């Protein structure tokens, strides 16, 4: 299968949602060692957190490098 003939369901499965997360809202074990106040989360369509990264640009790069389609969440 090529990227040109992906079906809508395939695209949905490869979509990740990028959102800002306050470090204070993270579990203590996750927040430990993070010095900044906000990080960015990549989440699957079912809400599973796949990754946390230090900035928004990196979140989009990480998604694309792993053949996901990043969508910003405000």
Q: What pLDDT band is residue 74 in, cutting at 50, 70 and 90?
A: confident
Each residue's pLDDT tens digit, 13-68: 899 999 999 999 999 999 998 999 999 999 998 999 999 999 999 999 999 999 99
Residue 56 has, within 13 A of its CA and on its CB side, a CA count of: 7
Q: What pLDDT band is residue 1 in, cutting at 50, 70 and 90?
A: very low
Residues 6+ apart with CB under 8 A from 53: 39, 40, 42, 59, 62
What pTM value is reported for the model? 0.80
Residue found under tokens 């470090």: 23
């Amino acid at each position: 299968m090529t990227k040109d003939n992906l079906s809508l369901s395939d695209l949905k499965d490869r979509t990740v949602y990028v959102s800002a997360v306050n470090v204070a809202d993270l579990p203590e074990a996750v927040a430990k060692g993070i010095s900044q106040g906000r990080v960015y989360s990549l989440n699957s369509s079912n809400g599973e957190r796949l990754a946390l990264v230090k900035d928004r640009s990196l979140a989009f790069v990480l998604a694309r490098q792993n053949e996901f389609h990043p969508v910003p969440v405000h």
